[in-house]
Structures are given as structure tokens and as C-alpha cells.
Amino acid sequence: MLLADDKRITVKELPPEVVYKLEKSNVSVSYSASGQNGVSAFSNVSPTKLRESERQQILSALEKTGWHRGKTAELLGISPSTLYRRLRDYNLEVR
């Protein structure tokens, strides 16, 4: 959801193992959609913490792919243009 465009999850936001029905995941992400009493798990998380979490996930994926942006976008399940925009937003340089 953090990397989705227009706050909607589409096929391009899904991880490759879901889209291509791969047996083993290259990346593991765990989260809880709701906390106790149906309250969103993200309701008490600041936007700054969410942005930092997204930045760290992008950095992790970049490291796993040797900073290959096309493979990173695929690994994250986002379009290359979305990745480029996020790289610019987070001021991340190519290594």
C-alpha cells in the first residue's frame, strides 16, 4: 500500500511471486491490516515513519538487485516510473 499509486493496489503493486505465481518469495513483508477492535494498524503511525519504512524497503530491494532499477521495480511490484519518482523523492543516488 505504501508504494501504490493513487491509493489503489493494482497488479503492478503486487509482488512478482503473486503476479507470476512463483513458488518462493525473494522478499518477505509482514504487516497487520488491522489492530484490536478493527482499528487500522497504521492509524497511530506518523507519515514520517511510513516514508522512512518505504525508503528502507526501496534501499533493501536496491541492494538485493545490485542497484538495477528495472529489477528493483519488478521486485517491489511497482512500475519503473514509480521507482524513479520515489528515488527522486528520497534523494537516493545510484551506487
Sorted by sequence, the CB contacts under 8 Å of residue 2 that are 6+ apart come out as 50, 53, 54, 57
Q: What is the pLDDT of residues 78-91, one digit of tens each?
A: 999 999 999 999 99
Domains and CATH numbers, the chain: 11-19+45-95 (1.10.10.60)
- Band (93; pLDDT cuts 50, 70, 90): confident
For the full predicted model, state whether its pTM sits above 0.95. Answer: no
Q: What is the pLDDT of residues 39-82, one digit of tens each?
A: 555 566 678 888 899 999 999 999 999 999 999 999 999 999 99
73: how many CB neighbours lie within 10 A of its CB?
Answer: 22
